[in-house]
Amino acid sequence: MSDPVLMLEGLVRRFEQAGEVLEVLRGIDFTLNPGELVALVGPSGAGKSTLLHAAGLLERPDGGRVIIDGTDASRADDGVRTRLRRATIGFVYQFHHLLPEFSAVENVMMPQLLAGVSKAKARARANDLLDLMGLGPRADHRPARLSGGEQQRVAIARALANRPGLILADEPTGNLDPETAERVFQTLVSAARDQGVAALIATHNPELAARMDRRMRLEHGRLDRAA
Ligand SMILES: Nc1ncnc2c1ncn2[C@@H]1O[C@H](COP(=O)(O)OP(=O)(O)OP(=O)(O)O)[C@@H](O)[C@H]1O
């Protein structure tokens, strides 16, 4: 069997707030295998975003290790972490964070161009992904001319652009009405299954969480298997 796409070992993260130390992650252990879809649940403020940012190499933990595709990123320098992140991880945020000056297709091309893919190849892949998201006819629109659900589907296409083994999603449907949330979530799950991508998805929506392979609950700084 191949390496897990993500392993967290004894992950610790602390913040200082008003002179007090808040230990948000108190030794988190977690393994995500290739193609697995896992929901990350837990009360507001429990540290789901903090966990995703550390797992996604956007921030360094205060203790423990983050191992991506068998590579220990904990002690790697920033350059190595950035390359590893670009090559293996796709992020989807609650607010899409698309670049407003660029069209949908250009937004999906961007991470590929940063990774050194040619313009022609990046455009072809971006168009394929937008088709997969049902957004082919909207490819040349800027984000402001797309609905919230369409913007979020562009963000999912962008996250998949570099064929990551791992998608980290932070309440990807939290900002959408229930019907649109359902459609966007379905698109994310079927795209991940279709492309064999593993995903860790933070969500407050129990119905959506119930449809993942596993659910993990973060509370009081600990991560445990949930029902
Ligand atoms: N940069 C920071 N500096 C200080 N405290 C922080 C920082 N980032 C997060 N925190 C604190 O860490 C705790 C966890 O925050 P986090 O955003 O990870 O929770 P969450 O589970 O994602 O919440 P929600 O479900 O509401 O999005 C909160 O108490 C928050 O105030």
Atom of ligand 1 nearest to the CA of 51: 18
ipTM of the shown complex? 0.96
Give the pLDDT confidence of 62-98 residue by residue, as tens digits.
999 999 999 999 889 999 999 899 889 999 988 878 9
Which of 12, 20, 22, 58 to probe ligand 1 with, by most ligand atoms within 8 A of CB?
22
How far is the centre of ligand 1, averaged over its atoms, from the C-alpha of 107 (Å)? 28
- Whole-number Å distance, alpha carbon 51 to ligand 1 midpoint, is 10
| Residue 1: per-residue pLDDT | 59
Q: What kind and span of H or E run contains 223?
A: strand 222-225
- CATH number, domain of 144, equals 3.40.50.300
**Angle subtended at Cα 127 by Cα 84 and Cα 211, rounded to the nearest 5 degrees:** 65
Domain boundaries, position 36: 6-225
Total domains present in the chain: 1
Question: Over the stretch 118-130, which tens digit does the pLDDT of each residue have?
Answer: 999 999 999 999 9
What gap in Å lies between CA 69 and CA 149, rounded to an integer?
A: 31
Residue 114: inside a domain: yes
Closest residue by CA, ligand 1 atom 3: 15
Give the residue carrying structure tokens 């949930």. 226
41 in contact with ligand 1, CB cutoff 6 A: no
From CA 157, how far away is CA 98, in angstroms rounded? 11
* Å from CA of 49 to ligand 1 middle: 7
Residue 1 lies in a domain: no
- Residue 216 CA to ligand 1 center (angstroms) comes to 18
Q: Give 2 or 215, the one with higher predicted confidence.
A: 215
Residue 10 within a domain: yes
Ligand 1 pocket test: pick from 12, 50, 216 the residue with the most ligand atoms within 8 Å of its Cβ: 50
Q: Count CA within 13 A, CB hemisphere, residue 165.
A: 15
Residues in the chain: 227
- The pLDDT of residue 183 is 83
Q: Which residues contact 147 (CB under 8 A, 6 or more apart)?
A: 180
The CA-atom distances, in angstroms, between 99 and each of 15, 48, 142, 158, 171 are 30, 25, 9, 11, 19
pLDDT tens per residue across span 21-55: 999 999 999 999 999 999 999 999 999 999 999 99
pLDDT (tens digit, 9 = 90+) per residue, 158-186?
A: 999 999 999 999 998 888 888 888 888 88
pLDDT of residue 126: 97
In sequence order, which residues have a C-beta less than 8 Å from that of residue 116 and are 6 or more positions away? none
Inside any domain, residue 47: yes
Residue 191: what pLDDT?
Answer: 84
Note whether residue 33 is domain-resident.
Answer: yes
Which of residues 15 and 132 earns the better pLDDT score?
15
